[in-house]
Amino acid sequence: MKLSAIGLEHLARAGLAARGAVYLMVGGLAVLAAVGSGGGVGGGGSALRSLLGHPLGALPLAAIGLGLVAFSAWRLTNAAFDGDRHGASPKGLGTRAVHVLSGIVNGGLAVTAFSLAFGVGRRGGDNDAAQDWTAWLLTQPFGRWLVAIVGAGIVGAGLFHFWKVWRGDMLKRLSVPPERRHLALTLGRIGYAARGLTFLIIGGFLLIAALHSDSSEARGLGGALEALREQPVGWALLAVVAAGLAAFGAFGFAQARWRRIEALDLGDARQTIDALARRASA
């Protein structure tokens, strides 16, 4: 039994465009801050808050929130039913787990967008959220190990981004017209490199938080960008990485336009469950 690709396509394209818009705002605001022309350094939540100062800011917030809900739903459904055919190997399951995490994170960002649109979430920074869930994890059994595992996973995701940059395979699931491939690939490479670097920084801070058992060490995307600005010639580092994040946002619109969306086979989820059960009993 298969789920139609039509509904999934709407979810995916709306979601990829919404995520692209968020990264464009994050990168654009940080570039302006780096060159001293206003803007601000922060993560997705801070970028969304910047819309509150504009007329009718609640409307784009609500639209982005809906798009992020669509992205989250698509990511979770695609991971569950293996829409991209990653399989049930350790590598495939790891990739699907990352997609689940992406769905959860963007679902949380959607909640932020809606709360801001309706005037109930105007306080708190991006680092607050990272520190809050890190503090919660630290209170759990083996909490320091849990935080370390998450941090190592994010570092691994950052390294995977650089691997994709080196291979240049970020277009393999896109049907890009030949005359647009060079531009799309360039945006993808720059964007993945910048995003990979921020992942390495975020994961590194989580490893430090685990080592010291101190949630205040954790940082989100905004904290990672601030860490760059604190370095020698930090304004230049921030400007380059922020421009890269904006490129990743632009690449998100390319994904929204040209991503191939396949119908989902409900049997794939059953196959994954059976494979996990066999491994557990081995």
At residue 210, does pLDDT exceed 90? yes
Q: Which of 255, 240, 108 is nearest to 171 (CA)?
A: 255
Cα(13)–Cα(259) distance, rounded to whole angstroms? 8
Residue type (1 letter), 88: A
Cα(217)–Cα(145) distance, rounded to whole angstroms? 15
pLDDT tens readout for residues 80-94: 888 888 877 888 888
Domain boundaries, the chain: 2-281
State the burial class of residue 36 (Cβ atoms within 10 Å of its Cβ: 0-12, 13-18, 19+). exposed
At residue 276, does pLDDT exceed 80? no
| Segment 165-189 mean pLDDT | 95
Q: What pLDDT was estimated at residue 269?
A: 54
Q: What pLDDT was estimated at residue 19?
A: 96
Q: What pLDDT was estimated at residue 83?
A: 80
Cα(159)–Cα(163) distance, rounded to whole angstroms? 6
Polymer length of the chain: 282
Model-level pTM? 0.89
Cα(108)–Cα(139) distance, rounded to whole angstroms? 21
pLDDT tens readout for residues 102-161: 999 999 999 999 999 888 755 556 667 888 899 999 999 999 999 999 999 999 999 999
Please report the beta strands in the chain, taking only residues with DSSP state E, as ranges in sequence order: 2-3, 264-265
